[in-house]
Amino acid sequence: MAWRWQYSISLNPVNRQHPLFQTAISGCCLNQPPYGLPGTIKHENGFPMSTDRFENSPVSDALESFRARFFPDAALVQWHSWKWQLQHRIDTVKKLRRILELTESESAAFHHGWSKIPFAITPYYMGVVTTMNSDSALRKSMVPTAAEFQVNPGESRDPLVEEKQSPVPAIVHRYPDRVLFLTTHQCAVYCRYCTRARIFSREAPALSRARHWKEGLAYIAATKSIREVIVSGGDPLILANDSLKGLLTELRKISHVQIIRLGTKIPVALPQRITDDLLGMLRSFHPLILSLHVIHPDELTREAAFAIERLADAGIVIGSQTVLLKTINDSTSVIQKLMENLLRLRVRPYALFQCDPILGSDHFRTSLDKGIEIIEDLRRQTSGYAIPHFIADPPGGKVTLAPNTIVAKTLSGYRLKNWRGEEIEYPDPSSGEP
């Protein structure tokens, strides 16, 4: 049977021909030829073709130059393969030195003899780090430095005390109605500030899919209060389609599980993974929520925007999770640009997390006042839809932090502070009642 190929532009709330959408998103020009409008190649009957590659992705000019310079033997079809990307990760200091001139602190980290977190960066994301990010912010989040080995008071290998709330090895049960399902210890790239750095250590027990997944599923099935499962790791989207499908199928068999959430950085670190095959599989498990780990607007390249759009077109609800990091994104301008651009891509800005005090994290952590200041600034400067919750995560559970808008209780109601910082009187019907 002969197929007729065509671009299919989905009927969704975003008109991709609208000037606002075609405006550059932090280095990504979505209307740049020869790729034109981002869309999914479909059969004449409307169903996606079967492919294990990132078909018809736009290519950022800077990343194409990076590929030609550092991976000249990689054809474009290989570059668009997520498996090729994983097989060619920069995961040694020798490979890294071929691309970057290391600082003294970075060199010292590699010669320390051990690391709490593995080092690996996909070729694509290394291109983002080196060509799309002029202030080296993303480099600081990916390349280890000597500061990782300086342990300070208050830091812990398990700051959320998850191990004490783990009834079986693959499950963390901190809240009555939801659990965290740790599916893998693998990621496409390894963030130096990772909350679960402990699972990558040499002392950490291996995670067995045959045994630990089975025990995790049995625990969820037996615990009727659980209505939401957060599939995490590691990064669950690094799993093969069959493995991920098998897990999601078993979760959907449990009648009291209403929501499945996937925690991932893949759409911005390895957008080539968002293939037609993956999308076709995921759309069969709705309602499905994807928590996207993104920390900087420079991560929203043309390739990442294309991947995120495809996920949204597949009916997946996407919310963002951003960690507030010193000298990386701890300014109102950076966070505002990130949140507004996410919103344009149909990603709901959800959480701005205070960096957890893992061992050797002091150089990443800001004060709580800095996060509250950013939220207060955002309230004055942007839409409420673009304002995430600022969240700290102490051992007892998450705490949402916000600027204090209630100045005082008065005889007639309350004195409040509005978005301009002005104090205003507001009547309360219950005031004055006995």
Instruction: Give DSSP secondary structure letters for 21-89.
Output: HHS-SSS--TT-TTT-S--EEE-TTSPBPP-SB-TT----HHHHHHHHHH-TT--HHHHTBHHHHHHT-
Alpha carbon distance 156, 151 (integer Å) = 9
Residue 39 has pLDDT above 60, yes or no: no
Give pLDDT, residue 10.
Answer: 35
For residue 19 the two structure tokens come to 């000037």
Residue 155 lies in a domain: no
What is the mean predicted confidence (pLDDT) over 405-426? Answer: 90
Point out the domain boundary residue: 149, 178, 210.
Answer: 149
Residue 286 has pLDDT above 70, yes or no: yes
Least confident stretch, 36-40, 82-86, 213-217:
36-40
The more confident residue out of 45 and 376 is 376
362 burial (CB, 10 Å; 0-12 / 13-18 / 19+) is: middle
- Same structural domain for residues 71 and 139? yes
- Same structural domain for residues 316 and 335? yes
The more confident residue out of 40 and 96 is 96
Give 111's pLDDT tier (boundaries 50, 70, 90).
confident
- Same structural domain for residues 89 and 142? yes
Give pLDDT, residue 161.
Answer: 86
Q: Are 185 and 207 in contact (CB under 8 A)?
A: yes
Residue 112 lies in a domain: yes
Residue 45 has pLDDT above 90, yes or no: no
Give pLDDT, residue 13.
Answer: 39
Residue 158 lies in a domain: no
Give 49's pLDDT tier (boundaries 50, 70, 90).
very low
What is the mean predicted confidence (pLDDT) over 119-140? Answer: 91
Query: Could you give the number of structural domains in the chain?
Result: 3
CA dihedral 310, 245, 167, 114 (to 10 degrees): -70
- Same structural domain for residues 381 and 340? yes
Residue 19 has pLDDT above 90, yes or no: no
Residue 15 lies in a domain: yes
Point out the domain boundary residue: 149, 183, 211.
Answer: 149
Residue 6 has pLDDT above 70, yes or no: no
Residue 235 lies in a domain: yes
Residue 16 has pLDDT above 80, yes or no: no
Residue 229 lies in a domain: yes
- Same structural domain for residues 170 and 46? no
CATH number at residue 210: 3.20.20.70
Residue 299 has pLDDT above 70, yes or no: yes
Give pLDDT, residue 201.
Answer: 64
Residue 128 lies in a domain: yes
- Same structural domain for residues 34 and 142? yes
- Same structural domain for residues 331 and 275? yes
The more confident residue out of 118 and 282 is 282
Percentage of the chain exceeding pLDDT 70: 83
- Same structural domain for residues 243 and 303? yes
Task: Tell me the range of 181-195, 313-327, 411-425 where mean pLDDT is highest.
Answer: 313-327
Residue 401 has pLDDT above 60, yes or no: yes
Give 204's pLDDT tier (boundaries 50, 70, 90).
low
What is the mean predicted confidence (pLDDT) over 182-202? Answer: 87
Active-site residues, by number, are: 174-175, 178, 187, 191, 194, 196, 356, 393, 398
What is the mean predicted confidence (pLDDT) over 159-175? Answer: 92
- Same structural domain for residues 325 and 395? yes
- Same structural domain for residues 198 and 92? no
Residue type, 114: W
Point out the domain boundary residue: 90, 119, 149.
Answer: 149
> Which pLDDT tens digit goes with each residue over 218-239?
999 999 999 999 999 899 999 9
The continuous run of DSSP H or E covering 245 comes out as helix 241-252
Residue 156 lies in a domain: no
Alpha carbon distance 15, 21 (integer Å) = 7
> Which pLDDT tens digit goes with each residue over 62-105?
999 999 999 999 999 999 999 999 999 999 999 999 999 999 99
- Same structural domain for residues 357 and 423? no
Give pLDDT, residue 411.
Answer: 86
Rounded alpha-carbon distances, angstroms, from residue 319 to 29, 252, 289, 348: 23, 21, 8, 5
Q: Which domain holds residue 35?
A: 6-149
- Same structural domain for residues 116 and 33? yes
Least confident stretch, 27-31, 147-151, 428-432:
27-31
Give pLDDT, residue 26.
Answer: 41
Give 175's pLDDT tier (boundaries 50, 70, 90).
very high
